[in-house]
Structure 1
Amino acid sequence: MRVSDGRSGTPWRGPAGWLERLGLAAVTARLCLAHYADVVLGRQQLDLAALAGALRQSGLSILPAITLVTAAAGAILGRQAASIVDEFNLPALLLLSISYAVIMELIPLLVGIMVAGRAGVALAVQQATLVVTGQMDGLLVSGVNPITFTTAPVLLAALLMSFAFAVWGSVVTLGTAFVWLLTVSDLAPSDLADALRLAIDPGDLLEAIVKPLVFALAIVLIATVNGSTGGRDPEGIGQAATRTMVGAVTSILLIDLLFALLW
C-alpha cells in the first residue's frame, strides 16, 4: 500500500492517479469483505472495541441531529400538505406522493449526507493522521493491514447505522407529518394508512433499504482513499476531510440519480 509524500510527480496525481484511487477503493472493499468473511468463519476476531467506537462515531453521536432534522422535515411536509389538501381536496394523490418522496428520496439523502459529514470525514482524518504521523508505516512494518485495522470497523458500523437511521428517519418524518395532518385537516387515519400502503410496494421498500447502504459504502471508500492519499504534509489532513465531504455528497447525488434511472 503506497502513501503519497505530497510532492509533485508522486502517486495519486493526474489521470493515472484517479485509476490508482479507484484501485485502492476496490482493494479496500475486497479486504473488508474478506475480513468479515474470516470473522464469520472464525478465522479472525472482530475488534469489538473498534466497532463500538465506530458505532458511536457514525451512529449514536448523530442520532439527535437525525431525529431533529427528520422531525422538522415531517413538520414542513405536514404543513405544506395540509394547506394543499384544504385548498384542492386531493388528499389521496397528495399523501401518496408525499409518502413516496419521504421514504424513497428525502430520508436516504439526509441519512447519507449526515453519515458523510460525521463518519466519512472522521475516517478520512484518521487515515490522513496515520499517514502524516508515520503510524501507517508502523502498521505495515508490524504486519497489520491498515485497511482492516481502521476501515473495516467503520464500514460495518456505517452500514448498520445507515439502515437503522433510514428506518428511524422514515418513521419520525412520516409520523410527524401525519400527526400534523390529523390535527389540522379533516383526514381520517385510514386515509393516511391507505396512502402509505398504495405509495410503497415491496420493491420500493427494498430500494429504500439498499440505497442508504450503497451510500454508506461509497462514503467509507471515498474517505479511505482520500485519507490514505493525502500526503505527509499536515495540511493534507484538512484537505482529505474537505475532499471526502465534497466527494461523498457528489457521489450520493449521482448514485441516487442512477437508482432513479436504473432501478
Structure 2
Amino acid sequence: MPRSRANRHFVPRQRDAALFSGPTGWVEGIGLAGLALARCLGLYLRILIGKARLDLPAFAASLRQAGLSILPAITLVSLVVGLILGHQSQSILGQLDLPELILASGAYLVVMEVIPILVGILVAGRAGVALAVRQASLAVSGEIDGLLINGVDPIRLTLGPVLLAMLLMSFAFTVWGSLVTLGATGLWLWGMAGLSPASLLDAFGRALAPGDLVEALLKPLLFSLLVAVIATVNGTAAGRDPEGIGQAATRTMIGAVAAILVADLLIVLLFRE
C-alpha cells in the first residue's frame, strides 16, 4: 500500500515525546477530538447512503460492553434512588400536605439531572475506559502505524462502532432508568403513604413538559459524545510507554466525569430560565 494513502488518515505519529504536551497540547487534543468526531459522523452518513458498512461484530461487542454489562447497575441504582425519593417524599408529606408540589419537584430533579448524569458516568466508566484502553493498546504496541500503512483509519476502526453503541445504549438507559425510578417512587408512596396511582401520574405529568423530556433524552447523547472523544484523545496520547494504558484509563474517567458535570451546568445556565 503506498504511503501516500496511509498519510491521508491523520493520526498523530507515535514518537518518544509525549503527545499533546506543552503549551499547545490542549489545542492539539481538541483538534484530534473534533477530527475523530467528524470522521465518525462521516462514517455514519456513508453507511446510511450505502457507501460503507458498519463493522457488525465490533458493534455487537460494543453493545454488550456498553449495554448488558451496565444494565444491572443502572437498574439497581435507579431502583434505590426511586425508593429513597419515595421515602423522603413520604416524610415531607407527613409535615406538609402538598403532594403534587413535592412529587413534581422530586420527579423533575431525578429525570432531568440525576438519571442523565448517572447514565453518563456509568457509560464513561465502562465503555469510555474500555475505548481508551483499546486505543492506548494500539498506540503502545505500534499497531497504529501498521494500520495506517494498510490504509485503515485507527480512529474510525475503534471509535465508529463504540460511539454508535454508546449513543443507543445511553438513550435506552435514560428511558429505563427514569421509568424504574419513578415507578419505585410511585409504588412506595402508594403502599406507604396511601397516594392513589391517579394522583401520582398527574403529579409526574405536571412536573415534566414535552420539552423537558426531550432535553432529558438528549443530554446523555451529548455526554456520550464527550466521553468518546475524551477516551480517543487520551488513548492516542498514550505513546509507546506501557504505563500510558493505565494513565489513559484514569484520565478518561476523571476527564469524562468533569466534562459531564460542566456540560450539564452549562445546559442549566444557558438553556433554562
Alignment TM class, shorter chain as reference: over 0.9
Q: Residue type of the partner of 1:142?
A: N
Structure 1 unaligned segments of length 5 or more: list them.
none
TM-score normalised to structure 1 length: 0.97
Q: 1:212 and 2:205 equivalent?
A: no
Deviation at 1:239, TM superposition (A): 0.2
Deviation at 1:15, TM superposition (A): 2.4
Confirm or deny: 8 A CA contact 2:19 2:238 kept in the other structure: no
In the alignment, what sits opposite 2:57? 49
Deviation at 1:6, TM superposition (A): 5.2
Question: 1:46 and 1:228 mapped to 2: Cα distance?
Answer: 22
* Residue among 78, 82, 87 paired with 2:90: 82
Q: 1:25 and 2:33 equivalent?
A: yes
In the alignment, what sits opposite 2:267? 259
In the alignment, what sits opposite 2:192? 184
* Residue among 94, 99, 106 paired with 1:98: 106
Question: Alignment partner of 2:94: what SS?
Answer: helix
* Residue among 135, 149, 155 paired with 1:141: 149
Question: 1:158 and 1:196 mapped to 2: Cα distance?
Answer: 28
Deviation at 1:178, TM superposition (A): 0.7
Deviation at 1:165, TM superposition (A): 0.1
Superposition misfits of 4+ residues, deviation over 3 angstroms: 3-7
Q: What do residues 139-183 of structure 1 show as CA deviations (whole Å, max 9, x unaligned)? A: 111100111110010000000000000000000011011100101
Deviation at 1:4, TM superposition (A): 4.3
Question: 1:76 and 1:193 mapped to 2: Cα distance?
Answer: 18
Question: 2:52 and 2:217 mapped to 1: Cα distance?
Answer: 29
Question: Alignment partner of 1:72: what SS?
Answer: helix
Structure 2 unaligned segments of length 5 or more: list them.
1-10
**Which is worse superposed, 192-201 or 241-250?**
192-201
Deviation at 1:138, TM superposition (A): 1.0
Q: Over the residues paired in the alignment, what is the CA RMSD in angstroms? A: 1.0
In the alignment, what sits opposite 1:166? 174
* Residue among 9, 12, 36 paired with 1:2: 12
Question: 2:132 and 2:15 mapped to 1: Cα distance?
Answer: 16
In the alignment, what sits opposite 1:237? 245
Q: Give the number of equivalent residue pairs.
A: 261
Question: 1:45 and 1:256 mapped to 2: Cα distance?
Answer: 34
Question: 2:94 and 2:196 mapped to 1: Cα distance?
Answer: 14
Confirm or deny: 8 A CA contact 1:3 1:229 kept in the other structure: no
Question: Alignment partner of 1:88: what SS?
Answer: coil
Confirm or deny: 8 A CA contact 1:116 1:245 kept in the other structure: yes
Confirm or deny: 8 A CA contact 1:58 1:157 kept in the other structure: yes
Question: 2:19 and 2:188 mapped to 1: Cα distance?
Answer: 55
Q: What do residues 193-220 of structure 1 show as CA deviations (whole Å, max 9, x unaligned)? A: 1111111111101100110000000000
Q: 1:6 to 1:254 in 2, by over 3 A?
A: farther
Confirm or deny: 8 A CA contact 1:107 1:170 kept in the other structure: yes
Question: Alignment partner of 2:70: what SS?
Answer: helix
Question: 2:100 and 2:166 mapped to 1: Cα distance?
Answer: 36
1:10-21 equivalence runs, <5 A: 10-21=18-29
Deviation at 1:186, TM superposition (A): 2.5
Confirm or deny: 8 A CA contact 2:82 2:181 kept in the other structure: yes
Question: Alignment partner of 1:262: what SS?
Answer: helix
Q: What do residues 35-92 of structure 1 show as CA deviations (whole Å, max 9, x unaligned)? A: 0011111111111111000001111111011101110111111111111112212111
Question: 2:210 and 2:115 mapped to 1: Cα distance?
Answer: 17
Confirm or deny: 8 A CA contact 2:86 2:188 kept in the other structure: yes
